[in-house]
Amino acid sequence: MIIDYRSDTVTKPTPGMMEAMMTAKVGDDVFGEDPSINELENMGANMFGMEASLFCPSGTMTNQIAIKCHTQPGDEVICDESSHVYQYEGGGIASNSGASVKLLQGNFGRITADQVKVSIQPDDAHRAHTSLVSLENTSNRGGGSCYDFEEIKKIQAVCNENKLAIHLDGARLWNALVAKGETPKQYGEAFDSISICLSKSLGCPVGSLLLGKKNFIKKARRIRKVFGGGMRQAGFIAAAGIYALQNNIERLAEDHVHTKQIADVIATKEFVKMVLPVETNIIIFELKENLTAPDLVAKLKEHSILGYAISPNRVRLVVHLDITKEMVAKTIEVFNQL
């Protein structure tokens, strides 16, 4: 038995999801004729109370399309220094949009309205033109931390006052919604665009949705084509998304319980310097000097437990749909013996 905590992207479709995929109605989506994609896009937009949505192959693509839609070359994007859009999208903000980035030091990936306010460039010919604020909820490198929704509303107000667009990288927004008892509609009201992943905690093999106003999505559809993301009979994978939205959201609470159970044991280990606050399905912990992250990952692997060294002294474990109660018990047993 391999227990794979490297990411919540390692899940395989369940029999129910496979059945939904096998029986999906499909058509050519570049002609707008794939009924399953149309259904998924409508479903996503309705859940968030947003006008329209666009199905894309990845969360990187939905984020990068959104950034390109919201900016002009030479503009500046405000985000936390640990943001996925900056750290893990291949420098796409620069290469796809020709925009620069203003990096803020947030609290476990979360930035504040006050920080945003003082980071907006003055209207001066020397300066870049600030046009977009991008938030991430939950924050991946922040250890799955969740925003306080009141702070998001304050950031939205600052954006409105300064005519900035506001985008959410909600790759794991589902985890935040379940952990905080919030609704998708709240988020739909707070952002100009939202990217959500179906391939992370929800267990789909592929896919992300970009949500926004009708005109925004029209522009996004054109950019998706330019990026090479126009797909044909992709209803087979959209059907997995529909299934996931109907079946796999509420169960995330179980993942959160499992995550806390494992983190509580890790926190007691002598070789652990600190564990980032655990709010959802991610555990990031830092090691003391006598043990490196790659060494611990190798040691765990001997016990068939896979983790990820996100830096020389930090290890990340992500809990997901394919992690069973038995696997959690085994993991706790292994940590107890380390």
Q: Which residue ranges make up the site for ligand PLP (CB under 6 A)? A: 58-60, 63, 84, 136, 140, 169, 171, 197, 199-200, 208
What number of H helices and E strands is found in the chain?
A: 14, 13
In single-letter form, the type of residue at position 289 comes to E
CB nearer ligand PLP, residue 37 or residue 272: 37
Q: Are 101 and 95 in contact (CB under 8 A)?
A: no
**Nearest distance from C-beta of residue 48 to ligand PLP, angstroms:** 17
**What span, in angstroms and rounded, lies between the C-alpha atoms of 295 and 307?**
11
**Nearest distance from C-beta of residue 201 to ligand PLP, angstroms:** 10
**Nearest distance from C-beta of residue 125 to ligand PLP, angstroms:** 34
CB nearer ligand PLP, residue 199 or residue 281: 199
CB neighbours (10 Å) of residue 244? 26
Please provide the DSSP assignment of 273-309 as one string: EEEPPP-SSEEEEEE-TTS-HHHHHHHHHHTTEE-EE
Residue 268, classified by CB atoms within 10 Å of its CB into exposed (0-12), middle (13-18) or buried (19+), is exposed
CB nearer ligand PLP, residue 63 or residue 145: 63
Q: Which residue is nearest to ligand PLP (CB)?
A: 59
Residue 288 has φ and ψ, to the nearest 5°, of -75, 170
CB nearer ligand PLP, residue 158 or residue 206: 206
**Nearest distance from C-beta of residue 223 to ligand PLP, angstroms:** 16
**Nearest distance from C-beta of residue 84 to ligand PLP, angstroms:** 3
CA atoms within 13 A on the CB side of 277: 11
**Nearest distance from C-beta of residue 12 to ligand PLP, angstroms:** 16
CB nearer ligand PLP, residue 58 or residue 107: 58
CB nearer ligand PLP, residue 64 or residue 131: 64
**What span, in angstroms and rounded, lies between the C-alpha atoms of 173 and 218?**
24
